[in-house]
Structure 1
């Protein structure tokens, strides 16, 4: 249902002051959650570094830590995606205020309240919600950071199997080294390949969803 085009009074100095403080608050919250995103990525890098140190400490060291660290990386990725969804709420509000409040105020001094951009912002405060899905957030974090973490993990694991304790001489020997207890090596490598492929597919699907949203978006750099 279209909102009636009613006249809206211009903001007075007190209301402009409230908007300024509101913008400062949203920038602060956006900054805090952006810092939390960096923290989660740092955790992933540190745990992978520890696993690399243990695995390559000696030729006889097991490659198992590089497999187990993958579980932690998944946990950190999901946690970071959740934090990204929160961050995106504050980022979108900041960008919306910049686009419709700060920029018009600096350009011509007219806030164009007749366009009812403030109604959309008010609705977001009255009915807060995430602007992106969990899987979209996961895909974005993989594309930004975790692709390289997963690539290093995979390359380090395969390198360990191929060079320690001696250079691998056959596929059978590679499968034997990849075995974990009663779990055959072919199954371990198949699971690892599926692990990497699944995150890659999520990243590609997320990129296509983002591209479609960008083409359909009516407001440039708008909410969400």
Structure 2
């Protein structure tokens, strides 16, 4: 059958597409739950580090530094999961905007726009719809920027108030010493650490804006 001549779907095909939509919604829901799981891990881990470092005035601020490694690990895992989630979410949203919305609005599926071919190609040749850097940036914007800011503020607060209120920057820097590594170096690395992730978040925000403009300006819309 020549797809270009198709103007409608049979009742059996409509039923199959409806079941397909239900499946995509289910898969996107499952992967959305997995995203929440890794975020919870990051929050709980940071909470443990805060409890240890602020347990007493003489407690070391080192746990607040080491927890950064785990937070970044969870961020990488979550970005990977987000790329999977985005595939299922994009397919479900594609069906909503091109199948259900036109059918409810005017009873016409507009198969002449070839939206069904875009979906079919995505099933035939599945691929991620966003890059790993875009996924990382989106997760930072959604959750992890706040986690990273709290971690950084807690570290700065620990250096400032424990064991007594710091009276100078040199005193606070001395408290940040990690073995042979001077506190000033630790602070500089921490600042770079925070600014780098914030920069990735800002870059992905601009990237999403440009993606939205291209999608709105082009009739040959793509998924993602």
Give the TM-score range, shorter chain.
over 0.9
Cα distance in 1, alignment partners of residues 12 and 4 from structure 2: 22
- Following TM superposition, where does structure 1 have runs of at least 4 consecutive aligned residues deviating by more than 6 angstroms? none
State which drifts further: 11-20 or 211-220.
211-220
Kindly state the Cα deviation for residue 10 of structure 1 after the two structures are TM-superposed: 2.1
Unaligned runs of 5+ in 2: none
The question of 1:132 aligning with 2:136 is answered no
Residues 13-43 of structure 1: CA deviation (Å, up to 9, x unaligned)? 1111110110000000000000011111000
Match for residue 121 of structure 2? 123
In the TM superposition, 1:38-57 aligns within 5 A as 38-57=36-55
Match for residue 203 of structure 1? 201
Q: Compute the TM-score of the two structures, normalised by the length of structure 2.
A: 0.95
Cα distance in 2, alignment partners of residues 82 and 147 from structure 1: 17
The question of 1:174 aligning with 2:191 is answered no
Match for residue 190 of structure 1? 188
Seen in structure 2, the aligned counterparts of structure 1 residues 114 and 132 have a Cα distance that, compared at 3 Å, is same
Q: Secondary structure at the match of 1:6?
A: helix
Kindly state the Cα deviation for residue 184 of structure 1 after the two structures are TM-superposed: 0.7
The question of 1:17 aligning with 2:15 is answered yes
How well do the aligned residues superpose, as a CA RMSD in angstroms? 1.6
Seen in structure 2, the aligned counterparts of structure 1 residues 42 and 190 have a Cα distance that, compared at 3 Å, is same
Q: Compute the TM-score of the two structures, normalised by the length of structure 1.
A: 0.95
Q: Secondary structure at the match of 2:97?
A: helix
Cα distance in 2, alignment partners of residues 220 and 92 from structure 1: 16
Unaligned runs of 5+ in 1: none
Residues 167-210 of structure 1: CA deviation (Å, up to 9, x unaligned)? 11112211110000111111101110110010011011111111
Cα distance in 1, alignment partners of residues 59 and 92 from structure 2: 50
Seen in structure 2, the aligned counterparts of structure 1 residues 164 and 35 have a Cα distance that, compared at 3 Å, is same
Kindly state the Cα deviation for residue 5 of structure 1 after the two structures are TM-superposed: 8.2
Kindly state the Cα deviation for residue 9 of structure 1 after the two structures are TM-superposed: 4.9
Q: How many residues align?
A: 221
Cα distance in 1, alignment partners of residues 57 and 118 from structure 2: 61
In the TM superposition, 1:1-224 aligns within 5 A as 6-217=4-215, 218=218, 223-224=223-224
Residues 32-89 of structure 1: CA deviation (Å, up to 9, x unaligned)? 0000111110000000000000000000000000000000000000110111111110
Kindly state the Cα deviation for residue 221 of structure 1 after the two structures are TM-superposed: 8.7
Cα distance in 2, alignment partners of residues 220 and 166 from structure 1: 63
